[in-house]
Amino acid sequence: MLGRILLVVLALLMAIPAGALALLGGVLLDPALREAFGRLGLAGLFTGLADLAAGVPPDLAASMLAFLAQALALLVVVPPILTALIGETFGLRSALWYGGVGAGLTAALPWLARGAALPPAGPAAAARLSAILLATGAASGLTYWLIAGRSAGTRPSAP
């Protein structure tokens, strides 16, 4: 039992960065998202530097960083953990379960969070973002499946 828990933890420690890399790659490959994050990053940097130069404590920068960390954790950490917990509980070994449910859950979370409303950029941007999030969830779910999901629910035979 302890060996299985360690394998699950190791698999999650590998699946979460795999999903983060897939998300980063998707954002960098999409021109509109790359430009938006570039502007946001530069605007945040210039605002933070101006605040520091004016002597204002960097509370706003810290709160923005905390919000960004929470959003990334919601997208990259929660779906593989939920998928793994359900898969391990029911002994599911299918790559379709880990990749598909991980992808669907990752893509559905932003839609659920904003009440199924389209983002201001329009339906094309929403479709591209959904595709990136599907790839993110699939990457993390399949990474987990490769390490620990294939042997979920199996018990070692007694010698």
What are the pLDDT digits (tens) for 109-147? Answer: 877 776 655 556 667 777 888 899 999 999 999 999 999
Please check the confidence at residue 159 and state whether its pLDDT lies above 80.
no
Out of 37-46, 59-68, 148-157, pick the least confident: 37-46
Q: Two tokens at 114? A: 């904003």
Tell me the pLDDT band of 44, cut-offs 50, 70 and 90.
low
Report the pLDDT value the prediction gives residue 141, as an integer from 0 to 100.
93
Tell me the pLDDT band of 27, cut-offs 50, 70 and 90.
confident
Max distance between CA atoms of the chain, in angstroms, equals 71
Angle, CA 88 vertex, CA 104 and CA 95 arms, to 5° = 50
Report the pLDDT value the prediction gives residue 137, as an integer from 0 to 100.
94
Angle, CA 18 vertex, CA 114 and CA 80 arms, to 5° = 55
Please check the confidence at residue 155 and state whether its pLDDT lies above 80.
no
Distances in whole angstroms, Cα of residue 11 to Cα of each of 37, 115, 134: 30, 32, 19
Report the pLDDT value the prediction gives residue 117, as an integer from 0 to 100.
56
What pTM value is reported for the model?
0.76
Tell me the pLDDT band of 34, cut-offs 50, 70 and 90.
confident
Contact between residue 74 and residue 106 where contact means Cβ atoms under 8 Å apart: no
